[in-house]
Amino acid sequence: MTRTGVTRAGGGLLAALSIIFLAGFGLAGRHPVPGEFLIEAGARDGLRQLWAASTSARAERAACLTATTDGDTLRITRVLPLESTMNDSLAISATASLESCAPPHWQGTVHSHVALRDGQRPYPNFSGADRGVMSMWWQRWGTEGVFCLVFGGDQVHCEIDGVNGLRIYPSGRY
């Protein structure tokens, strides 16, 4: 069996030290990593409203979301679309979503991607600009944030980002 990044001569010692470090120090104080995310019925309705507003306007829309971590499950419990007063494709400013979606009532944001790659496929991942806003959120509030993206009509992608690092979940349906 080939081990990537470990030479045969020092591999055993290096592997043992790595395990000790991770077990004793590297994982100490970390929050458990949720294994899946669930979207409760009320939040599902909010996601549908967000998607409908986005497709009607043919523009990105944003919403605040409430979430809890229950054991190894991230639960999205509430979604409240933000009103857009702008007429461009970004619709909601980062500052507005940061202020409107603040803890403790909200744990993050969700927004839509209605643009299509090659005119056919939705963009299922956060853009560089999206990641910048995510970073601004958790730096501003000093806590982890939950960020979701709706795309393709009934699909969602969620991530947790913050002081404990980035946790990416597989995309799913809502």
Q: Which domains does the chain have, with CATH numbers?
A: 32-173 (3.40.140.10)
Phi, psi dihedral angles at 173 (to 5 degrees): -105, 155
Q: How far apart are CA 163 and CA 161, in angstroms?
A: 7
Q: What is the pLDDT of residues 14-33, one digit of tens each?
A: 444 343 333 443 434 445 55
Residue 101 CB neighbour total at 10 angstroms:
24
Alpha helix positions (H), 28-113? 41-57, 94-100
Q: What is the pLDDT of residues 92-149, one digit of tens each?
A: 577 778 889 999 999 999 999 988 888 888 889 999 989 998 999 889 999 999 999 9
Distances 116 to 58, 112, 171 between C-alpha atoms, Å = 11, 12, 17
Amino acid letter, 165: G
The number of CA neighbours under 13 Å toward the Cβ of 63 is 28
